[in-house]
């Protein structure tokens, strides 16, 4: 088993904010790719009607995830929550207590890996 932690976050796009989605996501993707080597997967998906957005994220370990949360909080959280309303947030993998505490505040639920593999 690996130390990877991943999540699926489903969000509604706030009313009147559909035009803000792509510029914000583009900026976040660039910042994460350039500044966070522990971010292994960082992918956003938008429904055709631009009403719902889903993000898939995977981090090397709890420390990498906390680095991301620090950067997110400093640079993007205010705009992010004006643009999106979280609907479902599920975290998978061996999140430590620090991660669990931080993400619980955002409504996350946690599933523990019981089998499988990554290639």
Question: pLDDT at residue 119 above 90?
Answer: no
Average pLDDT over residues 71-98: 97
pLDDT digits (tens, 9 = 90+) for 27-51: 999 999 999 999 999 999 999 999 9
Average pLDDT over residues 83-110: 97
Q: How far is CA 107 from the centre of its chain?
A: 12
* pTM check: above 0.85: yes
Of 15-24, 26-35, 88-97, 107-116, which range is least confident?
A: 107-116
Question: pLDDT at residue 116 above 90?
Answer: no
Question: pLDDT at residue 102 above 80?
Answer: yes
Q: When comparing pLDDT for 113 and 75, which is higher?
A: 75
Contacts of 87 (CB under 8 A, 6+ apart): 10, 11, 12, 52
Alpha-carbon distance of 40 to 119, in angstroms, equals 13
């Amino acid at each position: 088993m690996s130390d990877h932690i991943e999540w699926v976050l489903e969000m509604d796009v706030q009313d009147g904010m559909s035009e803000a989605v792509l510029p914000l996501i583009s900026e976040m993707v660039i910042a994460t790719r350039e500044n966070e080597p522990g971010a292994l997967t960082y992918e956003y998906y938008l429904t055709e009607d631009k009403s719902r957005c889903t993000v898939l994220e995977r981090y090397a370990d709890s420390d990498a995830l906390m680095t991301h949360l620090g950067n997110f909080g400093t640079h993007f959280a205010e705009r992010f929550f004006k643009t999106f309303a979280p609907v479902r947030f599920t975290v998978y993998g061996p999140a430590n207590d620090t991660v669990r505490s931080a993400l619980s505040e955002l409504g996350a639920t946690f599933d523990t890996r019981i089998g499988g593999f990554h290639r």
